[in-house]
Structure 1
Amino acid sequence: MAAKENQGLQAIVIVLTILLLLTGVGLLLVNNARKTAVARAASAEKASSDAQGVAAKAQNEANMYKLWIGFPEEAALETLEPQYKADQERFGKNMEEQSRKYRTMLDNIDAERQTLVKNEADAKAQVKQLSEQLAAVEAEKERQIKEHLDALNKAKAEFAAEQAKFAEDRAATLAEKEKIAASMQKLQEDHAKEVADLNAQKTALQNTIAQLERRVSILREGVPNPDQFAQPADGVIRWVDQRDGTVWINLGSADGLRPQVTFSVIDSDSADAEAAKQKGTIEVVRVEDAHMAEAKITSDDPKNPLMAGDRIYSQVWDRGRQVNFGVAGFIDLDKDGRSDLQKLKDIIAASNGKVVAAPDETGKLPEGAELQVDTRFLILGKFPEGARPQDIALRESWQALSEQAQSLGIETIPLDEFIKLMGWQLENRSVAMGAGSRSEDFPPEPQDATALPRRTEPTGVFKKRLPGVSY
C-alpha cells in the first residue's frame, strides 16, 4: 500500500518537474521574443529618425536647388515641370535630348557667348584694319587725282603748243607742196621729152639689131652645128718651159685647185676634151694666184710637144666643186695581190674628188653607201672569181653598184684606163716571189704613147649628159 503511494507521489513530482521545465522554457522564449521586439522597435525608430533626417536634408537640398535655378522653395514639381520644358525648348533646342540639362545648357550658352565675344573682337579688329586701309586708299586716291590733274594740265599745255607748232608746220608743208608740185610738173615734162628720145633710140637700135641678126644668120649658114654633148676643157696652158719641163695654167685658188691634181693635155682646137687625143699629162705642183698655177710635165710626145694655148682636162677635178666616184671589184694598182683601195681613194682625193660608194675590207658595201646622180664614173677593178666569202661579197657589191650605175646613167671605166686618164704612174712595182710566181707577172712595158682604150658603159642605150647637167 505504501509502495503504491510512493509511486504516485513520484509521478506527480515528475509531472511537476516537467511542467516547471516547460514553464521556464516558455518564459525564456517569451523573454527572448520581447528583447527581439524591443531591438526591432529601437532599430525601426532609429531608421525612421535617419529617414526623417535624410528626407529633411533632401528637402533642404531640393529647396536650395530651386533657389539656385531661380524658383521659390515652396514651388511644387507640377509647377516646375512646365517651366523646365519651356527652358529646354528655348535654350536646348539645338542640343541632343540626353544633353538638355541646365548645367549643359549653361555651358553651351557660355561657349556661344565666348564665341560671340571673340567674333566681335575679330570683327572690331577687321573694321579697324579696313578703316586704316580705306584711309590709305583715300590718301592714294587723292595723290593720284592730284597727279592726273597735274598731268592733264601739262598735256593741255603741250597740246596747245603742238597745235601751234602743227599750224606752223602745216603752213610750211603747204608751201613745200606747192614747190614740189611745180618741180614735179617740170620733171614730168622733162620725162616725156626723154621718153620720146629713148623711143627714137630704141627704134634705131631695133633696126640695127635686125640688120645684125640677118648678118649672123648669113654667117651661120657656113658654120657646122656644134656637138651639144661635147665635153669642154677645164683650162688652158698659158706658158711652157720645155727646158725645165714646167707649164703654167690659167687655174688657181679661186677655182678650188690644189697641188697634186693631174690634167690631160689636148690640142687647142679640140672641141670635145673627152674625145680628143691626149698629147700628154701634167701635175700641179704649186698654186700661185687666184687663176695661175705651176705644173710639171709628167708625160709628153717630143714629136708633138705641149704648147701655150693647149687645153687641159681632168676626169676627176671639176672647177669649184668636188667630183664623186664609185668603186667596184678588187683594186690592185701595183699587181702585188693586195688591195690598193685606200691608195686609189688618196689619188682621187688629191684631185679634189671623193669616193661615195666602195666595198669595205670584207667586200660588202657599208650601210648607206650608194651612187648618186652626180657621180662621174663607176671605176671597175678586177672582177672577183674566187670562192672565198670576201670574193662572194665583192661580186655582190659589184652587181649592186653596176645596177645603180645603169639606173642612174653613170659611165663605167676600167681601173687601168682611169689611172691613165689621171696621169698617175707607178713609181715601184713589186711581185711576190715564190713557187706561185708566173712569167705573166712581168709583162713588157710599152715605150711610146698609145691611144686610150674605149671606156666601157653599162648595158643598154646610154646618152652623154649635157655639160650643164654633168660637168
Structure 2
Amino acid sequence: MAAPGNESKGLQIAVAILATLVVLMGVVSYFLYSSYAETSEKLAAAESQKNEQTQVANRFRQNFEEVRRIAGFTDDDLEKLKDARNQRASELTSRIQSIREQVDAVVTKVQEDARNAQGGEYGRLPEEIEDLKRKARELSDKIESEPEIDQGSQMNRLTDLLLNNAQLMAQLARDNINLRRNLSTIDAVNQAGVREIQAALERRSEELVNEQRDADERMRSLRESLTQAQRENTDRARTIDELNTQMREKERKAEEQRLANLETISNLRDELSKTETVLDSPDGTVIYVNVARNEVVLDITRAMGARPQMTMSIFDKRSPGLPTDRPKATVKLVRVGEQNSVATIQRIVDPTDPINPGDLVYSPVWSPNAPVLFALLGKMDLNRDGVDDRDDVRRLIERSGGRVVYDLPPPNARMPESGQLNARVDWYIIDDQEPLRTFAKRVIPTPEDQAFLERQTEIIKEARLYGIRPMPLRRLATYLNYRSNEVDQGVVQYKNEATIESILYPEGRPVPPPGSQPGEDQDDAMSNDEPVAVPGRGFGGRG
C-alpha cells in the first residue's frame, strides 16, 4: 500500500502533465494556424511526441488508478480523495487510541490479577513490560500528532507499534506463565494445607460424631432414668395426695370434734357463769379500817396500775371463794400511793357484817397484771328504763381501770359497730333483763333488728370459740356499786383543811382525855392526802 504523500505527488504530476499537454496543444494549434507549413512538417514529430506523451499520460493514469485501487479509494476527484484520506487518518487514529486503551486495560488487568493472586509485594509488573507499555504509548502519540506524514512513514510507525504490541503481548504471556507457575506452586501449598485441614476436620468430625453418639447414649439413659423417676414421683405424689386427703379428712373431723367440744365447753361455761358463786383470784386485801372516816387502807399500789375513782368489791376473808353476787361492801379509791391506797366505803351490804382487816378486794374490770378488756353486745340498760346506757357503762368500766375494745350497739342506738373481737378480751357484757317500764304499743321487728340478732349470735359464737366469758350487766353494776338513784360524787380536786377545821371546830380541836383510844391518832395520820403505812393489820379495826 503506497503512502498518501506519494499518491498526492502522482496526482500533481498527472495534473502538470495534462496542463503541459494543453499548453503544447495550444502552441501547436497556434503554429498550425500561423505556419501551416512548419506545422505540417513538424506534425509528424508532434504526433509522435504526442503519442509518447499520451503513452506517458496513460502510464501515469494507469499508475494513478493502480495507486487509488491499492489505496482503496473510489473517487476520481482530488478533493474527495483528500477527504477520504483524512477520514481514513481519523479512523486510524481512533483505532490506534482504542488499541492503546485495550492494551492499557490488558496490562492493568494483568497487574490487578497478579496483585490479587500474589499480594501487593508481588503485584508490580516487570520493568520490560513497563518499558513496552511506555513505548507503545509514545508511538501512538506520534501517529496521532502527525496526521499529514506520508504513507510510508505512517506504515513504518504502524509497523513499529504492531511490533511493540507483539513484544508486549509476548512479555505479558511470559509473565502470565511465570504467574501461573507461581500460582501453581502457591496452589499446591494451599492444597496441601487444605488437605491437612480437611483431614483434621474429618478427624474432628469423627470425634464429634463419637461424642454425639456417647451423648445420645447418655441422654437416652438419663431420659430413661428421668422417666422412671417421674413415674416414681407420680406414684409418690399420688400416695401423698391420698395421705393428704386422709389427713385433711381426719383434720376436718378433729376440727369438727374440737369445735363441738369448744361449743359444749362454752355452753357449759355460760351456764356455769350464770350460776357460779366463785370468781377469779382477789386483786388485794384490806390492811386497815378507819370507821370514823369511813375509809379503808388496801395493799394496792400505784405500781400495780391502780388510780383514784376505781370502784372495788370487798369479800369476807373466810369465804372459800369470791361470791359473785354477794360482796360484803363496795369501796372507791381516793388516794393511791407507792405502798398502799385509801378507799372510801361506798356501801355495806349487811351492817352486821362489817369490813375487817384481811378481807379480800376484787374488781371485775381491773387487774394488777394488765387492763381487763370488755366487749359490749346489744343493749345496755343500767336503770331498766328502756333507754340504752352504753355510754354510762363505758365510763364506769374505764373509770374502774378497764377498757372497752369492741361494741355492737342495737339498731335503735344509731351507732356503728366499732372495735374488733379477739382472744385477748376477758368478758363480753350482755343485758338479759327486761325494762321495768313496758309500753302498750307492740313493736314489730324490722329487718335491721333481724340483721342485728344474726350478727349478735355470730359474735357470741365467735366469743365462745375465743374462750371469752360472759358477764350479765346486773352483775357488773353490782361490782361497780352502780345505783340509779345515787349521784356520782366525782373526784376531790382540792380540800382546804383550815376552812374545814374552822367549820368543824370553831373553838378549836378538843384535847383528847387521858386513856383515849390510839386509833384517834391514826385517824389524824390517815387524814393526809398521801396514804401511810399501817403498823398492824388488826390495829384499830374490827374482828
Q: Which has the larger radius of gyration?
A: 2
Query: Which structure is richer in relative contact order (CA contacts within 8 A, separation 6 or more)?
Result: 2
TM-score w.r.t. length of structure 2: 0.40
* Higher helix residue share: 2
TM-score w.r.t. length of structure 1: 0.45
